[in-house]
Amino acid sequence: MKRREFITLLGGAAVWPLAAGAQQPKQMKRIGVITPFNENDSESQRRVSAFRQGLQELGWTDGRNVRFDYRGGAGDPDRIRAYAAEIVRLKPDVILANSAQILLALQRETRTISIVFVQVDDPVSNGIVSNLAHPGGNITGFTPAESPMGGK
């Protein structure tokens, strides 16, 4: 699964390139997911369920052609760092994260595995990406607002 295709799905785009939906991978793909919530948190479970359903609609079925590795940091910095290291050791094809704290932990662990973030405030000021248009490196994603937009 290519990083841009993954980002398109996360952005809620209705159409993914046909190649991604039509071709079945020869080996199972692996997606690591780290959230700042407790794994039993209802909001976290709702988001993960929506993510899995979106991928399933595109032909990616858990256990058939994709495997998910979920971790919930429960807001604990030590736990988040440990889970970041653990997920990287599993060598997923891509990692999904949704907090600056998780991204910074992942950034310390890998510069090669693609990492996609969602709803991270000001990833540029946090030093996660160089800029939103061209993030560079192995990290890219979506932010609900950019710092310069705050005054508008």
More confident residue, 150 or 29: 29
Torsion, Cα of 126, 111, 131, 35 (10° steps): -50
Quote the DSSP letter at residue 25: P
Q: H or E stretch including 120?
A: none
Domain at 3-11+25-144, CATH homologous superfamily: Response regulator (3.40.50.2300)
Q: What pLDDT score was predicted for residue 142?
A: 80
Q: H or E stretch including 94?
A: strand 94-97
Residue range 15-27: mean pLDDT, rounded? 51
Cα-based angle 122, 68, 146 (whole degrees, multiple of 5): 10
Computed over every residue of the chain, the mean pLDDT equals 81
Flag whether pLDDT at 21 surpasses 60. Answer: no
Percent of the chain with pLDDT strictly greater than 70? 78
On whether the pTM is more than 0.85, the answer is no
Strands ordered across the beta sheet of 94-97:
66-72, 29-35, 94-97, 114-117, 139-141
Domain extent listing, the chain: 3-11+25-144
Flag whether pLDDT at 63 surpasses 60. Answer: yes
**Residue 68: alpha-carbon gap to chain centroid:** 11
Q: What pLDDT score was predicted for residue 86?
A: 97
Give the end-to-end CA distance of the chain in Å, rounded to a whole number.
37
Flag whether pLDDT at 8 surpasses 50. Answer: yes
Q: What pLDDT score was predicted for residue 38?
A: 83
Confidence class for position 150, pLDDT limits 50, 70, 90: low
